[in-house]
Amino acid sequence: MIAALTLLLVFQLAGEVITRALDLPIPGPVLGMGLFFGYLMLRGGPSEDLRKTAGGLLQHLSLLFIPAGTGIVLYGELIAAEWLPIVAALVGSTALAIVVTALVLNALVKRRRTGADSEGGARP
């Protein structure tokens, strides 16, 4: 478990270092997650130890929402004063995410159909 946690933190650190060194506009942990995904793809997937550790972390994922809840309590007055832009941003970003997901799914389904047609048979 310690090795798996260390691996996760090393990729997060690598993302932070690269982001700060290159002055990239994305968060370091996001870049680290992308690097980690690439590592897992090259490796053929996660090890059993990494699977168990990730499962344990996911079981306690709700603990990560405590800082967000604290922020809401701390900045309640500001949120109340700026509720309209916040709601607009939430609704707009959710709608955009749904539209982009639908477009990507549609493109992938068409691509899969085209691939099945060119192979001369239907895929399951």
Domain count of the chain? 2
Both 8 and 53 in one domain: the answer is yes
> Could you identify the residue written with the tokens 């870049």?
31
Domain-ending residue, one of 43, 59, 75: 59
Both 89 and 123 in one domain: the answer is yes
CB-based contacts of 27, cutoff 8 Å, min separation 6:
15, 19
Residue 122: which pLDDT band, with cuts at 50, 70 and 90?
Answer: low
Residue 123: which pLDDT band, with cuts at 50, 70 and 90?
Answer: low
Residue 41: which pLDDT band, with cuts at 50, 70 and 90?
Answer: very high
Both 84 and 48 in one domain: the answer is no
Quote the DSSP letter at residue 123. -
Q: Residue 13's domain spans which residues?
A: 1-59
For the whole model, what pTM was predicted?
A: 0.55
Q: CA 23, 27, 33: angle at the middle one, nearest 5?
A: 120
69-79 pLDDT tens trace? 888 888 989 99
* Nearest CA-CA partner of 43 in 31, 54, 35, 32: 35
3-state secondary structure of 10: helix
